[in-house]
Amino acid sequence: MQTKNVDAVVVGADRVCANGDTANKIGTYNVSIVAAFHKVPFYVAAPITSLDINLSSGDDIPIEERSADELISTSKAPNNVPCWNPAFDVTPAANITGIVTEKGVILPDGSGNFDVKGFV
């Protein structure tokens, strides 16, 4: 995004909360920050089945934590080094321009949150 003419970023999501916070593979949150810094629109594409109105925000999303051995065995880190290995991260609704679904695009309300209930 720093050196190319990027018009938009589109990522997937495994879960979308009622307020628009999303969970996706680790690193998605970082990309949303870079997009915001470079003023590039950041869209999440997800099927309606990923919308979970029972979760009010990303704080409610259970994040799978994988074994530390998965990281240590693929790096040069010493054995038994403590590490945290989450499989997903949460992108806050404030970093998201729109959520693209098969029923249309959900846009944020005036407060920067999304009301996904109307799409479920």
> Catalytic residue numbers?
14
**CA–CA separation, 87 vs 97, rounded Å?**
24
CB 31 within 8 A of CB 2: no
Q: 36: which DSSP letter?
A: H
Spatial strand order in the sheet of 104-106: 9-12, 42-45, 98-101, 104-106
Name beta bridge partners: 88.
25
15, 64, 102 from 117: Cα distances, Å? 14, 25, 15
